[in-house]
């Protein structure tokens, strides 16, 4: 599906988010104005997910707020690039931006991505649901922290055929309505799953209650490796381990 040269021009990306605060009391003390928006937001979330209709506002905050930019906090952004040795075997290089400071993470990533786009104007950013979650979240945080948005990431103004993004969740659909989460896709394709140690729903607890930022970083790096392996598998090339 993709050539080695095309894959070398890809940056694989994943983001891990947690709730912006450890609980609603903390949010209220830190930002009363934002806190007042949460009950309406929680009601909207419950309406869209009948299976959590019984949860309290606090419980919805604990389980769902990491998915919404206004109520979440980025704790890790990992990027990887696949290179090939003289024998044509793939190797992976990974860098993670992770910290308790969201600003520090976003500024570090923005500096890196600006440099990468300068180096290659045809660079492709690859992720699982990158178009629906990861990149919109990142760009919103560029705005939040007064950072320049690269031309390639002006997502509100880019035509689909001009996009620098490849979304493995969309590729796997191959025109159908149904897709698969990354863990399921990897299992189905015989790729080592990144979900053995942690899952997205457990990241907030691992961060706020267990102080496991390093573990979350490792989990995020596992996701970018898995995404790279999906592309390699689709291209009938060896996997990276």
pLDDT on residue 158: 82
d(CA 99, CA 223): 18
d(CA 163, CA 33): 36
Residue 69's alpha-carbon distances to 66, 139, 182, 216, 232, in angstroms, are 7, 10, 21, 18, 31
Mean pLDDT, range 186-215, rounded to an integer: 87
pLDDT on residue 201: 74
User: Is the pLDDT reported for residue 199 higher than 90?
Assistant: no
Domains parsed from the chain with CATH numbers: 4-234 (3.30.420.10)
> Using one digit for the tens of pLDDT, what is the confidence trace for 134-181?
999 999 999 999 999 999 999 888 888 889 999 999 999 999 999 999
Of 116, 74, 117, 69, nearest in space to 97 by CA: 74
pLDDT on residue 196: 66
Q: Which of 14-18, 154-158, 186-190, 223-227 has the lowest mean pLDDT?
A: 154-158
């Amino acid at each position: 599906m993709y050539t080695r040269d095309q894959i070398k021009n890809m940056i694989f990306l994943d983001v891990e988010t947690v709730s912006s605060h450890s609980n609603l009391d903390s949010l209220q003390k830190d930002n009363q104005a934002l806190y007042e928006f949460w009950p309406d937001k929680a009601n909207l979330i419950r309406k869209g997910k009948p299976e959590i209709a019984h949860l309290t506002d606090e419980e919805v905050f604990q389980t769902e707020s990491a998915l919404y930019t206004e109520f979440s906090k980025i704790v890790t952004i990992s990027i990887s690039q696949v290179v090939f040795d003289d024998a044509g075997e793939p190797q992976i290089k990974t860098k993670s931006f992770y910290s308790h400071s969201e600003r520090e993470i976003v500024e570090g990533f923005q500096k890196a991505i600006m440099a990468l786009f300068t180096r290659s104007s045809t660079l492709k950013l690859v992720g699982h649901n990158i178009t629906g979650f990861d990149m919109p979240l990142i760009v919103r945080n560029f705005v939040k922290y007064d950072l320049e948005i690269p031309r390639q990431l002006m997502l509100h103004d880019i035509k689909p055929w001009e996009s620098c993004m490849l979304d493995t969740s969309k590729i796997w659909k191959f025109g159908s309505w149904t897709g698969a989460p990354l863990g399921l896709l990897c299992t189905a394709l015989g790729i080592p799953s990144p979900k053995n140690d942690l899952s997205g729903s457990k990241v907030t607890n691992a961060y706020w209650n267990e102080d496991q930022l390093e573990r979350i970083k490792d989990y995020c790096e596992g996701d970018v490796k898995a995404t790279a392996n999906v592309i390699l598998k689709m291209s009938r090339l060896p996997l990276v381990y």
